[in-house]
Amino acid sequence: MATKQLPQIAILGAGIFVKTQYLPRLSEISHLFILKSIWSRTQESATAAVDIARKHFPQVETKWGDNGFDDIIHDGSIDAVAVVLAGQNQVDISLRLLKAGKHVLQEKPAASCTSELEAALSSYKSISSDAPGQLIWSVAENYRFEPGLVECKKLIAGIGKMMSVQVIIEGSMNSSNPYFSSSWRRNFTGGFILDMGVHFIAGLRMLVGCEIVSVSAMTSHVDLTLPPPDNISSVFHLENGCSGVFVMVVSSRSPKTLWRVVGLNGTLQVERGFQGQHGYLVSFYGTDGQNKSSFFPFSGVTEELKAFINDVSEITLKKRNQFVTEPRLSYVEGARDVAVLEAMLESGARQGELVRLKKF
Ligand SMILES: *[C@@H]1O[C@H](CO)[C@@H](O)[C@H](O)[C@H]1NC(C)=O
Ligand SMILES: *[C@@H]1O[C@H](CO)[C@@H](O)[C@H](O)[C@H]1NC(C)=O
Ligand SMILES: *[C@@H]1O[C@H](CO)[C@@H](O)[C@H](O)[C@H]1NC(C)=O
Ligand SMILES: *[C@@H]1O[C@H](CO)[C@@H](O)[C@H](O)[C@H]1NC(C)=O
Ligand SMILES: CC(=O)N[C@H]1CO[C@H](CO)[C@@H](O)[C@@H]1O
C-alpha cells in the first residue's frame, strides 16, 4: 500500500478558539496532514481538547506543562506548530519554536505592540539566516481568506478612482459572548479594539490594496464592563491619496460589519449577513444605476489553515527550494494590521493628534 507522506503538526493551546474553530475546521481537511499532539498549560485543558479532536484524529497525543512543551520542541517528526495562546505569550513561544526549526502558524494579533513587532522581526531574521532551509512564520488572519473579501479585491478596480472609504464595526462583545470573560484580552493594551480590530484593518488593507500612512482618532471608555477603550472613531489617510473613516464600537445592540469604498465609476460594499449561513454580502453599484449583489458564506479559517499546510508540505516534504509561501499569511502582513491600530490608539490617547504609521 502506498503511504502518502503528510506533514505532522501540533497545536499549542486548548481554549475556546481551538475547540470551536481549529478542530472542526481542521477536521474538514484532515486528509492533508497528521495532527500529532495538542498542548496546554494544564493537563485538564489539554485533555478536554484532545477528547474533541480524537473523533477525527484518533492518534493525537495529549501534552501539557513544561515537559510537554519540551517534548514537542524535541520531536523531530513535528514539522509545524499552530500557536493559539494568550496574545501576550505568542511571540515568545513562536520564536522558541522557530529556533527549534519548526514552522509556525501563530494566531493574530501578530504582537501586542510595535516595539514587540520590531524585536520579533529582527529575531526571526537572525533565526532564519541560521536555519538550513526556509522557515515559515505565518500569522493566522482569516479575513484575508474570506471569499467575500477576496471577491471584493477582484472587483475594486471597477470603481475607478477611489474617493472615500468607510469601515463601520458595531460589535456585540457582551456577557453572552464566549470571549467576554477571557482574562488575557482584558489585560491587553488596547483591549478588544486591538484583538478584534486587526481583523477589520486586515479587511480594509486588502480591499483598498495600499497602505495607510497616517491616522487621527478619538477613543473613549463608555461600557465599564469592557476593558478600555471600547469605542474609537478614526480618520485614516491612504498611500493612494484617498482618506476614510474607521468606526468601531466593541459592544452594541446593533451588530454590523461593513466596508464601503466609493469611487468615481462605482461603489463597492461588503457587509456581514446571514442567508441560511453566516457570510458576506458583496454589492457593486455601477455608473449605469445597476447594482449587483452576491453572498459568500464564511470559510476563511479553513482556507487559511489549508494554505499554511500547503506551504509546509511544499517546503518540508517536496523540499522545494525558494518556494514562494502564501503572502496573505506572512508575519509582516499581521504586523502592519497591529501598527495601524496602535497608531489609532496612540492618536486617541493624544486627543486626535495626527500619527504617522511605522513601516513594516
Ligand atoms: C470610468 O468611467 C469613465 C467614463 O465612463 C471611463 O472612461 C473610464 O475608463 C472608467 N474608469 C475605470 C477605471 O473603469
Ligand atoms: C497582566 O499583564 C501583566 C503584564 O503583561 C502581567 O504582569 C500580569 O500578571 C497580567 N495579569 C493577569 C491577571 O493576567
Ligand atoms: C449580546 O448581543 C447580542 C447581539 O446583539 C444579543 O442578542 C444578546 O441579547 C446580548 N446579550 C446581552 C447579555 O446583552
Ligand atoms: C439594487 O437593484 C435592484 C433592482 O435591480 C433594486 O430593487 C434595489 O433596490 C437596488 N438596491 C440598492 C441598494 O440600490
Ligand atoms: C470616540 C467616540 O466615538 N466616542 C463615543 C463613544 O460612545 C459614546 C456613547 O455613545 C460617545 O459619547 C462617545 O463620543
* For residue 228, cis peptide bond before it (omega within 30 degrees of 0): no
Quick one: pLDDT at residue 2?
40
Model confidence pLDDT, tens digit, residues 230-271: 889 999 999 999 999 999 999 999 999 999 999 999 999 999
pLDDT band of residue 139 (cuts 50, 70, 90) is very high
Q: Which CATH number characterizes residue 19's domain?
A: 3.40.50.720
Count of C-beta atoms within a 10 Å radius of residue 236: 25
Cα(125) to centroid(ligand 2), Å: 28
Q: Is 202 part of a structural domain of the chain?
A: yes
- Which residue is closest in CA terms to ligand 2's atom 12? 187
Instruction: Answer yes or no: is the C-beta of 349 below 6 A from any ligand 5 atom.
Output: no
Do 196 and 343 fall within a single domain? yes
* CA 152 – CA 103 distance, rounded (Å): 31
Q: Is 236 part of a structural domain of the chain?
A: yes
Q: Check residues 355 and 181 and name the one with the higher pLDDT.
A: 355
Do 154 and 204 fall within a single domain? yes
Quick one: pLDDT at residue 4?
59
Find the mean pLDDT for residues 122-144: 95
From the alpha carbon of 86, which atom of ligand 2 is closest? 14
Instruction: Answer yes or no: is the C-beta of 175 below 6 A from any ligand 3 atom.
Output: yes
User: Residue 23, SS3?
Assistant: helix
CA neighbor of 199 nearest in space, from 94, 341, 311, 19: 341
> Domain count of the chain?
2
Do 155 and 227 fall within a single domain? yes
Q: Is 106 part of a structural domain of the chain?
A: yes
Distances (CA, A) of 59 to 8, 80, 319, 343, 345: 12, 17, 26, 45, 45
Do 341 and 208 fall within a single domain? yes
Do 237 and 98 fall within a single domain? no
Q: Is 2 part of a structural domain of the chain?
A: no
Exposed/middle/buried for residue 6 (C-beta within 10 Å: 0-12, 13-18, 19+)? middle
* CA 258 – CA 270 distance, rounded (Å): 6
CA neighbor of 169 nearest in space, from 316, 344, 355: 344
Do 59 and 122 fall within a single domain? yes
Cα(175) to centroid(ligand 5), Å: 20
pLDDT at residue 41 is higher than 60: yes
- Which residue is closest in CA terms to ligand 1's atom 6? 265
Cα(188) to centroid(ligand 2), Å: 9
Instruction: Answer yes or no: is the C-beta of 252 below 6 A from any ligand 3 atom.
Output: no
From the alpha carbon of 160, which atom of ligand 1 is closest? 13
DSSP state of 130: H
Quick one: pLDDT at residue 1?
38
Q: Which ligand is nearest to the CA of 293?
A: 4
pLDDT band of residue 113 (cuts 50, 70, 90) is very high
Q: Which CATH number characterizes residue 205's domain?
A: 3.30.360.10
Q: Is 3 part of a structural domain of the chain?
A: no
CA neighbor of 164 nearest in space, from 208, 205, 203: 208
From the alpha carbon of 265, which atom of ligand 1 is closest? 1
Q: Check residues 12 and 2 and name the one with the higher pLDDT.
A: 12
Find the mean pLDDT for residues 20-33: 97
Find the mean pLDDT for residues 46-71: 97
Enumerate the β-bridge partners of residue 274: 278
Instruction: Answer yes or no: is the C-beta of 174 below 6 A from any ligand 3 atom.
Output: yes
Q: Which ligand is nearest to the CA of 281?
A: 4
Model confidence pLDDT, tens digit, residues 286-324: 988 889 999 999 999 999 999 999 999 999 887 777 789
Q: Is 90 part of a structural domain of the chain?
A: yes
Quick one: pLDDT at residue 228?
80
Q: Check residues 28 and 222 and name the one with the higher pLDDT.
A: 28
Do 150 and 287 fall within a single domain? yes
**Residues with C-beta less than 6 Å from any ligand 1 atom:** 158, 160, 265
Do 191 and 244 fall within a single domain? yes
Laid out side by side, the sheet with 80-83 consists of: 61-64, 34-40, 8-12, 80-83, 103-107, 137-140
Quick one: pLDDT at residue 293?
97
pLDDT at residue 183 is higher than 90: no
Residues of the domain holding 306: 8-140+301-330
Count of C-beta atoms within a 10 Å radius of residue 71: 17
Q: Which percentage of the chain shows pLDDT scores above 90?
A: 86
pLDDT band of residue 77 (cuts 50, 70, 90) is very high
Do 194 and 232 fall within a single domain? yes
Q: Is 99 part of a structural domain of the chain?
A: yes
How many Cα neighbours within 13 Å face the side chain of 94?
Answer: 33
Find the mean pLDDT for residues 160-168: 97
pLDDT band of residue 121 (cuts 50, 70, 90) is very high
From the alpha carbon of 253, which atom of ligand 3 is closest? 5
Do 150 and 64 fall within a single domain? no
Q: Is 1 part of a structural domain of the chain?
A: no
Q: What backbone phi and psi angles, to 5 degrees, belong to 56?
A: -105, -25
Ligand 2 pocket: which of 85, 187, 188 to mutate (most atoms <8 Å of CB)? Answer: 187
Do 318 and 292 fall within a single domain? no
Instruction: Answer yes or no: is the C-beta of 222 below 6 A from any ligand 5 atom.
Output: yes
Do 22 and 46 fall within a single domain? yes
